[in-house]
Amino acid sequence: MERHFDEELAHVKHLLLRMGALTEAMLDAAMQALVRNDRSLLDPIFTQEAQVNRLQIDLDEMCLRLIALHQPTASDLRFLLAVSKINTELERLGDEAVNIAETVTQLLAEPPLKPFEIIPQMVEIANGMVKDSLHAFVSLDTERARRVLIRDDKVDHLRDQVIAELLSYMRKDSSAIGRGMDLIIVAKKLERIADHATNIAEDVIFVAEGKDVRHHAGEKLDPTAC
């Protein structure tokens, strides 16, 4: 029985990482489509979203079944409850990637406002945060989780920078307003993706240390640890 439970737990972890890899691919594709001005790169995103949605439902059912059948220990129970929160974060993250892809479609219908520099940087950091938070979760590596929390500020900073820059374009040239707005929306969605990764990293610390850092994460971090 015990062996079987461990195998099921390993499968749950595998599926969570798979969800994360899918959302990462979706976001990368949306960004490549924007930067290379190639709409065809957006196509796989919609199939991948369906897979993410399916995995969310499957993971919920697995958690329910594992808890009902195995009456897990307190720490395994905490882990499974966290899985059932984290799969929701990942499903939302997939939604954000699809929304970004839709905004990119609109952006590709017009000439680019300016070369893209900050937004691809935001994607790289956000994707790294998602990957690290999930790997931290499956191995309950709280150090790796804490390093995710610290990077959130960097994303917020880049978002502010990109918004300030775009607003100045929009003020100078009213024909830039539509595209500027769309790019601001993309930057804000990337910030939200980083927030999802942050939420996952906070869950890791909660599960591993029983310490809830959700509403005062900043106080507990050493910024020199980055």
Say which DSSP state 225 is in. G
Task: State which of residues 7, 10, 37, 64 lies at the interface with its own copies (CB under 8 A).
Answer: 64
| Of 218, 38, 209, 63, residue with least CA distance to 136 | 209
215 part of the interface to its own copies, by CB under 8 A: yes
Q: Is 220 in the site for its own copies (CB under 8 A)?
A: no
Residues numbered 168 to 197 that lie near its own copies (CB under 8 A) are 170-171, 174, 177-178, 181, 184-185, 188
Query: Looking only at Cα atoms, what is the longest distance across the chain?
Result: 68
Q: Are the beta carbons of 225 and 147 closer than 8 angstroms?
A: yes
Q: How far apart are CA 214 and CA 199, in angstroms?
A: 7
CB of 95 to its own copies, least distance (A): 9
**Which residue type, as a one-letter code, is found at position 125?**
I
Q: Is 74 in the site for its own copies (CB under 8 A)?
A: yes
Inter-residue contact 50 to 43 (CB < 8 Å) = no
Asked if 121 touches its own copies (CB under 8 A), the answer is no
List residues near its own copies by CB under 8 A: 50, 53-54, 56-57, 60, 63-64, 67-68, 71, 74, 77-78, 81, 84-85, 88, 91, 167, 170-171, 174, 177-178, 181, 184-185, 188, 212, 214-215
